A and B are shown apart, each in its own frame.
Chain A
Amino acid sequence: MNHFTTIMKRELRIGFRNPWAYSFLALFVIFMLSMLLIHQQGYSSGYSGVTGMLMNLTLYLLPLITLMLGAFSITGEKEDGSAALLYTYRLSLTSWLGGKYIGLLLVLISIVTIGYSVTGIISSFTASGFTASVYALLFIFAVLLIAAFLAIAMVIGAIASTRWQALTYVIGIWFFFIIGWSPIMIALLGQLPYLWIKPLLTIMTFFNPAEWIRVYIIAALGGGTIVGPEYYQWITWIMHPSGHIAFCLLTIGYVLGSLALAGWLWKRRRYRG
């Protein structure tokens, strides 16, 4: 068995034995069921107020949980002495970081899948559930958020020395990307000449995975107009068949780029002290 698989299996085992995972699962299921109950009050297809609310709540919850579980997993290894012990093994950084990433990704996706499955089963007994395509897109939205923010968590884990330090970074990054992004963008871009706003907003969107994943899913749900005229070109390319491929490449590139950064930081900090 190669090292990558060994690390991944260990991460899966730790993840599924972690009480946190089950607290998060319970929270996610309760939250999904609440959304379902709200949705039952009226039928709508495609992007609606309820799907928007569901997306926003997912956007608050998933990145925070993902960042915390991911960053703690890495910093925990440092604090426990496990990372130091594994340095004395013939273990490549790619196997270690990659194995941890995929293991954690599978744990988190399993939790979200259970959440969606429970809600899906219950909604199948009711008259007015989400349509299958909307449900599938909301699930993809959750998975993409996990994949992107878990990669960021790896970077945080490589930088932070302790879990407490990691928690500080996690809250800071979560707040910046999820809560603070819109007001910061409005405040900053409002100071610039009108013609600069659109191109700058486009560039800035690439830096925040929560933002471009949200825009993509909203466009895919047919609610592209809701994001405003600044994203007109985004909506056009997302709806184009090549847009999906470009979006997939963007996500994969973001994840791989973040993991490469985490690896570089990890190597750089290894011999310090």
Chain B
Amino acid sequence: MDNILRLTDVSKSIAQKQLVAPCSLSFTSGQIIALCGGNGAGKSSIIRMIAGLSKPSTGSITLNELTIEAQPEQYLAAIGYMPDDYQFTGSFTAYESLKFWGELKQQSTERVRELLALVGLQDTGKKKVHQFSKGMRQRLLLAQALLSKPALLLLDEPTNGLDPYWMKQFVSIIDETARQGTLVLFSTHQLQVAEAAADHIVLLDQGQIKLSSSYSDIKQQYGEEGIQKAYEQLFWGEEGPMKRVRS
């Protein structure tokens, strides 16, 4: 398989503060990549740089040999992005919102309806999106990112606010998307989601990549509990994770 996404010595600093330390990563189509880490680990910064929303301080990002600086049209056509910090304030329904995005991506109304059904929002009728629960809004944003069947799907904390049923559905949806040849890259601090979906896991802490390995390698190295154990060993140390404090 060809490499489709390549980050070479990419770093991000703002006002002397390093958000992402220089890192090089390379992923191929059909893979599911999970960026894991706590708050401020640099997950969103990496995703925003790949999405073209912020410029790397150093290094370069190429997607199918395209860069956003040289070929912005083709580069952007190849990505689907789901932001973490999106607020629906307009008085739009789910269908109207997705239709608007669909029109911008030259997608048919059939595709819009198909995606609404995929994320379980086909029966929301005239209910306005700002009245939706967090989980419903997340599902709508996921549908938006999937609209054009992108080569690279970038999802920033996609499972925030999802209930267990939709978390499981999310894993199925991205698995199916990756099977169709899309490279899926998502950030999460929910390790069970990474464990369930990812082929490759990148553990980040304070902008540094602590571990970047395939799921099978992690399993081999850290045993059956895989990523959970790796995370604990890398981040908790001897103190260990949170335990029940009340007797």
Contacts and interface: CB of A to CB of B under 8 A. Distances in A.
A14 B100 contact: no
A203 to B, nearest CB: 40
B103 A84 contact: no
Interface in A67-121: 76, 79-82, 84-91
Given A88-B79, A89-B105, A90-B73, A80 B91 contact: no
A86 to B, nearest CB: 8
B51 interface: yes
Nearest to A82: B86
B103 A81 contact: no
Contacts of A40: none
Interface residues of A, number: 23
7 contacts: A79-B87, A80-B88, A85-B83, A85-B144, A88-B51, A88-B81, A273-B14
A87 B52 contact: yes
Contacts of A91: 104
B91 A17 contact: yes
Given A6-B100, A81-B85, 10 more contacts: A3-B104, A14-B91, A17-B91, A80-B87, A81-B87, A85-B81, A85-B83, A87-B51, A88-B51, A271-B55
B96 interface: yes
B53 A81 contact: no
Interface string A13-38: 11001100000000000000000000
Contact of B104 (A6, A17, A79, A271): A6
Contact of A1 (B76, B92, B103): B103
B54 interface: yes
Contacts of B83: 81, 84-85
Contacts of A89: 76, 101, 104-105
B100 A10 contact: yes
A217 to B, nearest CB: 35
Interface string B90-117: 1110001000110111000000000000
B25 interface: no
Given A3-B104, A13-B92, A88 B87 contact: no
A86 B76 CA distance: 10
A18 B90 CA distance: 8
B247 interface: no
B54 A273 contact: yes
Interface string B149-187: 000000000000000000000000000000000000000
Contacts of A80: 86-89
Nearest to B103: A6
Nearest to A83: B53
Given A6-B103, A271-B54, A13 B96 contact: yes
Contacts of B104: 3, 6, 86, 89, 91
Nearest to B80: A88
A89 B104 CA distance: 7
A13 B90 CA distance: 9
Nearest to B91: A17
A84 B87 CA distance: 11
